[in-house]
Chain A
């Protein structure tokens, strides 16, 4: 099955081609949905097969390469469509195709009746194709191809309902914002790639990483490379300072938010850092920066999440916050803990989004949680599964989020220090609070909508079954990574599976300092207690005493409005970056530089070329003798050259 992995990559492309080219002709939604999700389903089975085959191999032979074809080859630059099947890429592929398949199935129900049903599935398949290239690639260029591909699909899908209004502008503008912000990150990635080729003479992961250890390259180069890569990661994974696009990306259909902007694409930055962990290990300063940015983003996004009223916005900020946790793990050198959180997050955040989609569906596109309430009797399955996901993200044992989040907190305590842990725990408390604020306002309490006009009803089976599957995964997904203190002799299965990937990075990063089991139990207890506290606070405020919420808003008006307006980050960017650029473009670049200088140059050049061209054309008289004469003149000159050169 390992040798067939390219099928898992290219089947989604086939699905894209079929639906993209013949979509308008097929018309039948069932056929289109079957092709779209079938392609992903088969991919998933192949990845599962490859996973078990890899599992059956000895631990030191679990990295395999599947070379499909040579793409470009010039001198030492050899870029192939080659896939690296190893522990890390397989975990990612399982998540992408698995969660992807579930979301595809859900979408058949969710997108029912949409006028561009075929286009939606074509884009989704294209996205999976690009994402698979990103994660399976064995070199930076192919990874970059996937990286750009997912960016393109993200853009296309955010603006899927291009004729719909979104907030103050259109969904297309939201898509554009995501695309442009991502471009900034991409420049970082590209520059990093140039530097890597310059210093290591290769763009193949395996070669670069072995050379990174053996070549004598100064540390500041590693720092530069990793920082540039991290700029790429902040763009794709919505970290400070490039996180502003993700909340706007919620303009897309909800399954898109679940698949691309929660479970898979936004984690590409985390994956990339994990993939290049060796390089990061050589640059401790970057590691610290990654950790700081990560923990700060986690905290910062969580505070904004506290006050948002749009169900999808809350989830979007929660995604940014959870991604921050993952980068915190990367910065702490706990790469496998970060990947573990990536996986569990994919389960519960996809579930939250799909649940939100189900609610939005039932409430006729109403997204404001202040207009929900008491939905649990109308939407029993959505309610149940949403609760599981909320517990998981809040870190309540034994749900999956507990294991992964706690591990990150533990490593940030041991490897980075108390402050990181403290901010992490405060963020966790806030997470529990806003998630349950969302939950209580939506499902509990009394309905705050007109029950006579709106009759919410549970979604069809095509949508609820995926919810249940994801709920099961969110509930038990954490057990594959039970920390050592619980599992004892078995150790952490997830870690030992991934450990060969991060071996050389971990060798470089040796963290000292003994920590007792007691400390670990204590910290764990504190964070669980904090999460429970957050939940009870939410329950108390939003179920028992709604007045407290209103009073707090009144008393801390300025803080509230700052949070409500997302710290005015968009406005700050507008004032400091965007407006100056737009204005100078308009006044100088467009009206003077472009219109006068460039256009003048181009037009002048084009005109002079035309004149030259019409002059030369006269040579073409149509008379054979004169043609022969021209040839003779050529020969004459050639002879002159050979006589003079000897």
Chain B
């Protein structure tokens, strides 16, 4: 068992457990905290895949900026009212969980029986290089210039939308 696998198992377990806990908590503040943990473990997974830049961005932007913002918002509004929603129709919840588990099993079956690793190159050196900031920057402004610009407009439209919905004074 190599170190790579050990790390993967640890991060994956943390990721899974924190994810489940996040969904099942009643108090939204605790949920949000588990989400931070989840993001952190995801960053660890990225690192094991030699995606350093993404791992750093994950920590700084998601776990750092966004989640802090999230927590502020949750604490500012009164989250106690939201409890009722979770209690809605428990038998439906069991059914939903059953369905989700079935879909998960199906995907697991498909992945296990399809030999996914066939044909994928495992050149570690190349993948290390691909994950650097320099390389990402170069790709982003040459090959992926259209997606990059598109993301710009995506954020712009989201920003306009958020402003309209939140700030506009309606008659």
Which residues of chain A have a CB within 8 Å of any CB of chain B?
623, 625-626, 629, 632-633, 635-636, 639-640, 642-643
Contacts and interface: CB of A to CB of B under 8 A. Distances in A.
Contacts of B107: 639
B106 A633 contact: no
A620 to B, nearest CB: 15
Contacts of A635: 103
Interface string B86-103: 001000100110011011
A222 B130 CA distance: 75
The 3 closest A-B pairs by CB, nearest first: A639-B106, A632-B99, A629-B96
Contacts of B140: none
Contacts of A636: 99, 102-103, 106
Contacts of B95: 629
Interface of B: 88, 92, 95-96, 99-100, 102-103, 106-107, 109-110
Given A639-B107, A640-B106, A623 B88 contact: yes
A643 B109 contact: yes
Given A629-B96, A642-B110, 6 more contacts: A623-B88, A626-B92, A632-B100, A636-B99, A639-B107, A643-B109
Contact of B92 (A625, A639, A640, A643): A625
Contacts of A639: 103, 106-107, 110
Contacts of A626: 92
Contacts of B110: 639, 642-643
Nearest to B96: A629
B86 to A, nearest CB: 10
A632 B109 CA distance: 17
Nearest to B110: A643
Nearest to A640: B106
B88 A633 contact: no
Contacts of B106: 636, 639-640, 643
A530 B52 CA distance: 113
A633 B99 contact: yes
Nearest to A626: B92
Contacts of B99: 629, 632-633, 636
A619 to B, nearest CB: 13
A62 B74 CA distance: 84
B98 to A, nearest CB: 10
A312 B109 CA distance: 87
A643 to B, nearest CB: 6
A639 B107 CA distance: 8
A643 B92 CA distance: 27
A629 B93 CA distance: 10
A634 to B, nearest CB: 10
Contacts of B109: 643
Contact of A629 (B88, B92, B102): B92
A224 to B, nearest CB: 59
10 contacts: A623-B88, A626-B92, A629-B92, A629-B95, A629-B99, A632-B96, A632-B99, A639-B110, A640-B106, A643-B110
A633 B99 CA distance: 7
Nearest to A630: B99
Nearest to A639: B106
A431 to B, nearest CB: 82
Nearest to A623: B88
A198 B27 CA distance: 74
A625 B23 CA distance: 14
A450 B109 CA distance: 106
Contacts of A642: 110
A633 B98 CA distance: 10
A645 to B, nearest CB: 12
A466 B103 CA distance: 85
Given A639-B110, A643-B109, A643-B110, A632 B103 contact: yes
Contacts of B102: 636
Nearest to B100: A632
A633 B96 CA distance: 9
A643 B106 CA distance: 8
A623 B102 CA distance: 22
A232 to B, nearest CB: 60
Contacts of A640: 106
A632 B93 CA distance: 13
Nearest to B114: A646
A445 B155 CA distance: 99
A633 B95 CA distance: 10
A623 B93 CA distance: 13
B67 to A, nearest CB: 24
Contacts of B88: 623, 625
A629 B99 CA distance: 8
A217 B106 CA distance: 60
A633 B92 CA distance: 13
B139 to A, nearest CB: 33
A640 B106 CA distance: 8
A625 B88 CA distance: 10
Contacts of A643: 106, 109-110
A378 B102 CA distance: 101
Contacts of A633: 99
A636 B109 CA distance: 13
Contacts of B100: 632
B110 to A, nearest CB: 7
Nearest to A642: B110
A640 B100 CA distance: 14
Nearest to A632: B99
A631 to B, nearest CB: 10
B69 to A, nearest CB: 24
A629 B89 CA distance: 13
Contacts of B103: 632, 635-636, 639
Nearest to B99: A632
Nearest to B106: A639
Contacts of A623: 88
B109 to A, nearest CB: 7
A595 B96 CA distance: 49
A635 B102 CA distance: 10
A359 to B, nearest CB: 76
A304 B48 CA distance: 105
A627 to B, nearest CB: 11
A194 to B, nearest CB: 50
A626 B102 CA distance: 17
A261 to B, nearest CB: 67
A625 B91 CA distance: 13
A564 B41 CA distance: 106
A626 B99 CA distance: 12
Nearest to B95: A629
Nearest to A635: B103
Nearest to A628: B96
A181 B155 CA distance: 69
A353 B118 CA distance: 90
A635 B107 CA distance: 11
A632 B107 CA distance: 13
